[in-house]
């Protein structure tokens, strides 16, 4: 498991279900905005357009995922999310503030806000992985990440 890179990506059917339901919501709001008075018409028309724009932005990111290497967590594009020397601990408790069906990685240092829709978000000393992830995938991913972190810490202790 030392030289192995683990790839994780969200299945296409989840993106399709999410984008179609969000897009349908946007179309319904746009349609309903045409039946209201002028001020409400403008407000709901803008909300509907924003939701549809959000839907298209999510659909453009449908091939996102991340890689767990022996030294870092990366996006599929190669951008570093965090390295293992930045990780303090992994919190899988059900009472932590995290993404749906996910877990939290506590970081040692503060970071800027960054995210990938439906996959992860990072703010201050927290990296939350989850969202459009099933509970079983999240549990497996947290166990694998904990093992990789332990391997990394053992290698650091030996050096």
Express each pLDDT in 146-157 by its tens digit.
888 888 888 878
What is the pLDDT averaged over residues 74-92? 85
What is the pLDDT averaged over residues 62-72? 80
* Structure confidence by residue, pLDDT tens digits, 4-55: 788 877 778 887 888 888 899 999 988 888 887 788 888 889 999 999 998 8
pTM, two decimals, is: 0.71
Residue where the block lists tokens 């497996």:
140
Domain regions of the chain by residue span: 10-60, 71-158
With contact defined as beta carbons under 8 Å apart, do 107 and 85 qualify? no
């Amino acid at each position: 498991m030392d030289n192995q890179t683990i790839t994780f990506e969200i299945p296409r059917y989840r993106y399709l279900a999410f984008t179609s339901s969000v897009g349908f919501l946007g179309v319904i709001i746009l349609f309903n905005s045409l039946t209201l008075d002028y001020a409400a018409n403008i407000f709901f028309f803008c909300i509907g357009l924003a939701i549809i724009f959000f839907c298209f932005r999510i659909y453009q990111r449908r091939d996102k995922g991340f890689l767990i290497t022996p030294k870092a967590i990366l996006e599929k594009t190669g951008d570093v999310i965090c390295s293992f020397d930045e990780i303090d601990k992994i919190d899988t408790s059900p009472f932590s503030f995290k993404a749906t069906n996910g877990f939290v990685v506590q970081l040692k240092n503060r970071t800027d806000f960054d995210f990938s829709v439906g996959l992860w978000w990072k703010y201050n000393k927290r990296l939350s992985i989850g969202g459009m992830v099933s509970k079983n995938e999240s549990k497996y991913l947290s166990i694998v990440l904990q093992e990789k972190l332990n391997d990394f810490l053992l290698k650091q202790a030996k050096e």
